[in-house]
Amino acid sequence: MDHPLLNAFWMMLWFFLWIMWLFLLFKIVMDIFRSHDMGGWGKAGWLIFVILLPFLGVLVYLIARGGAMGERDMQEATRREKAMQEYIRETAGSGGGGGSNVDQLTKLADLKARGELTQEEFDRAKEKLLAG
């Protein structure tokens, strides 16, 4: 008997599995290039294996190196977060507010108050800070 609803279900299931496999394939290719513990020949070998024998290559890669994929993702996320925070600090410090100069002047004043800087050293550092 012909069951069009069941056929539609199977077609959607296979389409979903195909999309998931493509997503996994792209994730693995990105992981190959992101991996710092492999040399160029290792990366080329895995890439050729994954492209020439896609289903087998993806499964073998997941078995061999899948455990560390999450760690590499976390390292990349941490690196990006640090870069973003550094960019924000640099941008906010050099923006119109002059917050970094105020902070440095406060530090200089504290050093002078503790007696670690003489008045002459303080004045020179303050001039240099305000000029540049």
Tell me the helices (H) and strands (E) count for the chain, helix number first: 6, 0
Q: Where are the domains of the chain?
A: 1-67, 98-132
d(CA 7, CA 104): 71
Contact 29, 62 (CB under 8 A): no
The position carrying tokens 């290792």 is 42
Task: Band the pLDDT of 31: cuts 50, 70, 90.
Answer: very high
d(CA 132, CA 122): 15
Task: Band the pLDDT of 12: cuts 50, 70, 90.
Answer: very high
d(CA 59, CA 50): 9
